[in-house]
């Protein structure tokens, strides 16, 4: 299994546990995310075994990062000869893992397959589209994802299994709630929670300034755990935040569960946080023009607001006034997605205890 960025550690936790019960697994960390609070903290908190290989690729332009990963992953795959490579989500680590494997003739399993924003400018859209077209097994979280694949002519190896992030929430929420409240967290229902990290929001000074201005102007305090990309961009522009906006270090996963579930509303450009808000019953305003998680829009739980401060304030006001209700289980399943993926992978490999890492050993 190839991981590298924060959202993949969250998904890898339930998935890797379920897979290890059935098959031998080599966990490879590309090193795309490397700060302690973006990487190791997740391994520690979620009890993910240390990666068998760490490629320490680090930050670079998209081409350089993906290229370095491709070269290093190919070497690991040649050496360990996996019978299947599992990739998750839509990061550069996902694409590099899928491409390295496909070129070596190793089947690829993509978890979180079939998602589309239909925004070709998003690096993540390029990554997931290509990864899907390279994959033999495609594990879709929703019926929309299955339909998206069908529209691109992909019907073989497609399985709707539910969402592994639902599994992660179910496995960790009680534990998160038993812990002391995250430092500096305001009382439940007295604050908004925001996250911002997408290249298209953060690297565009006008958009970033508008977004921070919108968050500063909300009627209750907004907690904003800062992604390193965002921290750097704020520093580069010399922006000073005002009003009720409270910047803080990145939250751990358990802290995020508490912060999301206690917020009046979540404002985010992250795919994963939109989903966590939906699962935890908190309304969400998405700071983008598109979302892959269209079911959250249809349920009335999520509004798209882009980077327009007036639209953002209106969306928050509407959601607080209408207090929508929805069933996350109907959309993302009941926390059994990882088990389904593990079962289907072990069936694909032909026996319940096949060694997926060292063919012929």
Which is closer to ligand UD1, CB of 232 or CB of 358?
A: 232
Q: Is 220 left (phi over 0), alpha (psi -120 to 50) or beta?
A: beta
For tokens 């990290």, the residue is: 197
C-alpha dist (Å) from residue 45 to 9, 42, 180, 255, 264: 10, 5, 14, 10, 26
Question: Crossing angle of helices 6-20/337-348, nearest 10°?
Answer: 60
11/2 Cα distance (integer angstroms)? 11
- If binding is defined by CB under 6 A, does position 264 make contact with ligand UD1? no
When asked if residue 229 is in the footprint of ligand UD1 (CB under 6 A), the reply is: yes
Show the site string, 299-338: x = touches ligand UD1 by CB under 6 A, - = not. Answer: ----------------------------------------
Q: Could you tell me which stretch among 11-19, 100-108, 227-235, 254-262 binds ligand UD1 (CB under 6 A)?
A: 227-235
Interatomic CA distance for residues 343 and 349, integer angstroms: 10
Shortest approach of ligand UD1 to residue 198 CB, angstroms?
A: 7
Q: Which of 336, 339, 215 is nearest to 265 (CA)?
A: 215
Answer for which of 44, 50, 59, 347 binds ligand UD1 (CB under 6 A) is 59
- 174-213 residues in contact with ligand UD1 (CB under 6 A) are 197
CA separation for the pair 194, 269 (Å, rounded): 9
Nearest approach, Cβ of 95 to ligand UD1 (angstroms)? 8
Residue 266, beta-bridge partner list? 193, 284
Rounded to whole angstroms, what are the CA distances from 182 to 177, 256, 332? 10, 9, 27
Residue 140 sits at φ, ψ, to 5 deg, of -100, 140
Nearer to ligand UD1, 10 or 223 (CB): 10
Q: Give yes or no for residue 112 binding ligand UD1 (CB under 6 A).
A: no
Question: What minimum distance in Å lies between the beta carbon of 21 and ligand UD1?
Answer: 28
Q: Counting contacts by CB under 6 A, is residue 34 touching ligand UD1?
A: yes
For the CB of residue 256, give the shortest distance to ligand UD1 in the complex, in Å: 12
* Residue 46 burial by Cβ neighbours in a 10 Å radius (0-12, 13-18, 19+): buried
Q: How far apart, in whole angstroms, are the C-alpha atoms of residue 264 and residue 112?
A: 28
Q: Site size for ligand UD1, by CB under 6 A?
A: 19
Q: Does residue 35 interact with ligand UD1 by CB under 6 A?
A: yes
Find the shortest distance in angstroms from Cβ 190 to ligand UD1. 27
Nearest of 12, 356, 353, 6 to residue 195 by alpha carbon: 6
Long-range own/partner contacts, residues 203-206 (CB < 8 A, 24 or more apart):
203/229, 203/233, 205/233, 205/237
Residue 8 contacts residue 93 (beta carbons within 8 Å)? yes
Q: Rounded to an integer, what distance in angstroms lies between the CA atom of residue 116 and that of residue 277?
A: 19
Q: Does 117 bind ligand UD1 (CB under 6 A)?
A: no
Interaction between residue 124 and ligand UD1 (CB under 6 A):
yes
Q: Which stretch binds ligand UD1 (CB under 6 A): 30-38, 132-140, 301-309, 329-337?
A: 30-38
Q: Which is nearer to ligand UD1, 124 or 167 (CB)?
A: 124
Q: Residue 67 interacts with ligand UD1 (CB under 6 A)?
A: no
Nearer to ligand UD1, 25 or 91 (CB): 91
**Residue 197 designated active-site:** yes
- By CB under 6 A, name the one of 1, 7, 87, 182 that touches ligand UD1: 7
CB of 155 to ligand UD1, least distance (A): 26
Smallest gap from residue 91 Cβ to ligand UD1 (A):
3
SS3 of 44, please? helix
Is 224:201 a contact under the CB 8 Å cutoff? Answer: no
Answer yes or no whether residue 276 interacts with ligand UD1 by CB under 6 A: no
Interacting residues with ligand UD1 between 83 and 102 (CB under 6 A): 90-92
Query: Which residues of this protein are in contact with ligand UD1, per CB under 6 A?
Result: 5-7, 32-35, 38, 59, 90-92, 123-124, 197, 227-229, 232
Catalytic residue numbers?
A: 197
């Amino acid at each position: 299994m190839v991981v590298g960025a924060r959202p993949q550690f969250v998904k890898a936790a339930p998935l890797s546990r379920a897979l290890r019960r059935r098959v031998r697994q080599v966990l490879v960390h590309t090193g795309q995310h490397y700060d302690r609070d973006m990487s190791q903290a997740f391994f520690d908190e979620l009890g993910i075994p240390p990666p068998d290989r760490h490629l320490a690729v680090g930050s670079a332009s998209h081409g350089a990062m993906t290229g370095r990963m491709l070269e290093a992953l190919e070497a690991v795959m040649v050496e360990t000869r996996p019978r299947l490579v599992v990739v998750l989500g839509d990061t550069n680590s996902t694409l590099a893992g899928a491409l390295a494997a496909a070129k070596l003739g190793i089947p690829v399993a993509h978890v979180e397959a079939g998602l589309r924003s239909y925004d070709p400018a998003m690096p993540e859209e390029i990554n997931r589209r290509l990864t899907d077209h390279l994959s033999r097994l495609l594990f879709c979280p929703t019926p929309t994802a299955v339909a998206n694949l069908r529209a691109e002519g992909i019907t073989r190896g497609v399985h709707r299994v539910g969402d592994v992030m639902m599994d992660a929430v179910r496995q960790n929420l009680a534990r998160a709630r038993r812990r002391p409240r995250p430092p500096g967290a305001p009382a439940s229902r007295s604050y908004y929670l925001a996250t911002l990290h997408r290249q298209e929001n953060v690297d565009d000074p006008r958009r970033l300034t508008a977004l921070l201005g919108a968050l500063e102007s909300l009627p209750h305090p907004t907690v904003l755990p800062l992604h390193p990309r965002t921290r750097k961009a704020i520093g580069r522009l010399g922006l000073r935040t005002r009003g009720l906006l409270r910047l803080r270090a990145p939250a751990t996963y358990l802290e995020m569960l508490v912060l999301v579930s206690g917020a009046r509303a979540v404002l985010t450009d992250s795919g994963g946080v939109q989903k966590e808000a939906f699962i935890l019953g908190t309304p969400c305003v998405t700071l983008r023009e598109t979302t892959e998680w269209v079911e959250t829009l249809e349920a009335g739980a999520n509004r798209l607001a882009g980077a327009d401060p007036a639209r953002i304030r209106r969306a928050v006001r509407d959601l607080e006034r209408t207090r929508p209700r929805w069933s996350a289980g109907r959309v993302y399943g009941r926390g059994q997605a990882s088990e389904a993926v593990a079962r289907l992978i072990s069936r694909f490999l032909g026996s319940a205890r096949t060694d997926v890492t060292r063919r012929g050993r």
